[in-house]
């Protein structure tokens, strides 16, 4: 009799049954799906690295790659924060609590938390890009003595699309220094207006020589955030970003997410900027 793990390694197409335990509406169009693996033992044994993703499967509709946005240590479920945008995510948005779906993963390379030891950590997120960074923030705040200062720079289109407002306040109480900015200000907004790289340009309270940066957001935002970070003296080999490509098989077999020298599903989604930046500037790669 093979163990479950061995069966999965034998056949990467094998999905686990998962059930929607709860749905938390986040910002407009975005919700967090709290998933529980139907097999209680597998639910308990499941583990992932912050930044890794799962393939969520709706039979008859298809699969979609979604980063984990929280682990079971938070609310007892494996959480995925999803924007209803494509066919699978829109179908998912129609499912009631208790509905089943398939899950395979976790896949890919996550955020290099061990590299953060003793360093100031600057987490930069744009829009839904905060979701794959959230488990990294959880991990950082769980052991604050291991790192230097922790900054979060978060941008979104409007104030009401800044993710996880309540939780961010809790993070700030735990010692994270958060700054937010929006592209489009509504009259009631008194916070920052302007793009995320400006927050990097102005950031105080970190030592560039020992800072490490994690970035996730739209590709153009990441490109110019890297530029600002380099100007501030953060070394390219300590800037990490999470890239999105069309991940289909998630195990480096189907070729869809190929990007320069990398398969994003396998070598990424989290990649070191100096290894990938030359390819980010090439249109249509």
Partner 1 sequence: MDRTDLLQELAALRFTASLPAAALERLAAVATVARYAAGARIFREGSTNDRLMIIRRGRVALDMCVPGRGEVRILSLAAGDLLAWSALLGAGRMTATATALEETEVLAIPAAEIATACRDPDFGYAWMQRLAAALAERLLATRLQLLDLFADAEPVARD
Partner 2 sequence: MPPADSAASSRLPPQLLAKEDLQALLDALRRAGYRVVGPRLSQGAIVIDELTDIAELPRGWTDEQVAGQYRLQRRPDEAYFGYNVGPHSWKQFLFPPQATVAAAERTAEGWELRTVDDQQPPYAFLGARACDLAAIAVQDRTFIHAQYADPIYRRRRAEAFIVAVDCGQAASTCFCASMNTGPACRQGFDLLLTELAGAFLFEVGTPRGAALAAGLPLRPADEAALAEAAAVRQQAVAQVSKQLDTTDIRQVLLGSLEHPRWSQVAERCLSCTNCTMVCPTCFCSSVREVGDLSGEHVERQREWDSCFNVDFSYLSGGIVRNQIRARYRQWLTHKLASWIDQFDVSGCVGCGRCITWCPVGIDLTEEVAAIREEPA
Q: Which residue has the tokens 């407002």?
A: 165
Nearer Cβ to partner 2, position 203 or 249? 249
69 binds partner 1 (CB under 8 A): no
Alpha helices for the chain (secondary structure H) = 4-10, 40-45, 72-75, 87-94, 130-142, 165-173, 196-202, 219-231, 264-267, 273-280
Find the shortest distance in angstroms from Cβ 23 to partner 1: 15
Q: Is residue 14 within the footprint of partner 1 (CB under 8 A)?
A: no
What is the rounded distance in angstroms from the CA atom of residue 126 to the CA atom of residue 216? 6
Q: What CA–CA distance (Å, rounded) separates 37 from 90? A: 21
Q: Does residue 161 interact with partner 1 by CB under 8 A?
A: yes
What residues have CB less than 8 Å from 77, skipping those under 6 apart? 21, 22, 34, 35, 36, 70
Cα separation, 200 vs 16, whole angstroms: 41
Min CB(249)–partner 2 separation in Å: 7
Which of partner 1, partner 2, none does residue 220 bind to, with CB < 5 to 8 Å depending on kind?
Answer: partner 1
Decide which of partner 2, partner 1, none touches 272; Cβ closer than 5 to 8 Å per partner kind: none
- Please choose which of partner 2, partner 1, none residue 155 contacts, taking the beta carbon within 5 to 8 angstroms, the exact cut-off set by kind: partner 1
In the complex, the residues that contact partner 2 under the rule CB under 8 A are 9-17, 19, 38, 57, 59-63, 83, 85-86, 99-102, 218, 244-246, 248-249, 251-256, 258, 260-263, 266, 279, 282-285
Binding mask 87-126 for partner 1 (x = CB under 8 A): ---x-----------------------------------x
Q: Nearest 10 degrees: CA dihedral of 44, 46, 48, 53?
A: -130
Contacts of 196 (CB under 8 A, 6+ apart): 124, 126, 153, 154, 155, 181, 217, 221, 225
**Which residues sit at the interface with partner 1, rule CB under 8 A?**
28-30, 83-85, 90, 126-128, 155-157, 161, 181, 183, 185, 187, 189-195, 197-198, 201-202, 204, 217-218, 220-221, 224
């Amino acid at each position: 009799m093979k163990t479950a793990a061995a069966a999965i390694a034998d056949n990467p197409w094998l999905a686990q049954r998962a059930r929607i335990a709860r749905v938390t509406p986040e910002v407009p169009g975005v919700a967090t799906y709290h998933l529980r693996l139907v097999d209680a033992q597998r639910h308990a044994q499941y583990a992932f690295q912050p930044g890794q993703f799962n393939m969520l499967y709706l039979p008859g509709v298809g699969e979609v790659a979604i980063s984990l946005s929280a682990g079971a240590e938070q609310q007892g479920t494996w959480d995925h924060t999803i924007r209803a945008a494509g066919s699978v995510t829109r179908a998912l948005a129609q499912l009631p609590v208790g509905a089943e779906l398939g899950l395979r993963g976790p896949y890919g390379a996550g955020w290099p938390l061990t590299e953060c030891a003793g360093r100031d950590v600057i987490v930069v997120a744009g829009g839904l890009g905060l979701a794959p960074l959230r488990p990294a923030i959880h991990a950082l705040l769980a052991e604050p003595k291991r790192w230097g200062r922790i900054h979060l720079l978060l941008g979104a289109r409007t104030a009401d699309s800044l993710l996880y407002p309540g939780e961010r306040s809790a993070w700030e109480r735990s010692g994270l220094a958060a700054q937010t900015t929006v592209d489009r200000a509504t009259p009631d907004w008194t916070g920052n207006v302007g793009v995320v790289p400006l927050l990097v340009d102005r950031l105080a309270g970190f030592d560039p020589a020992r800072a490490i940066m994690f970035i996730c957001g739209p590709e153009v935002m990441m490109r110019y955030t890297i530029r600002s970070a380099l100007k501030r003296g953060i070394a390219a080999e300590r800037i990490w970003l999470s890239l999105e490509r069309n991940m289909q098989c998630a195990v480096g077999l189907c070729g869809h997410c190929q990007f320069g020298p990398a398969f994003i599903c396998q070598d990424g989604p989290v990649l070191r900027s100096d290894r990938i930046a030359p390819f980010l500037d090439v249109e249509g790669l």
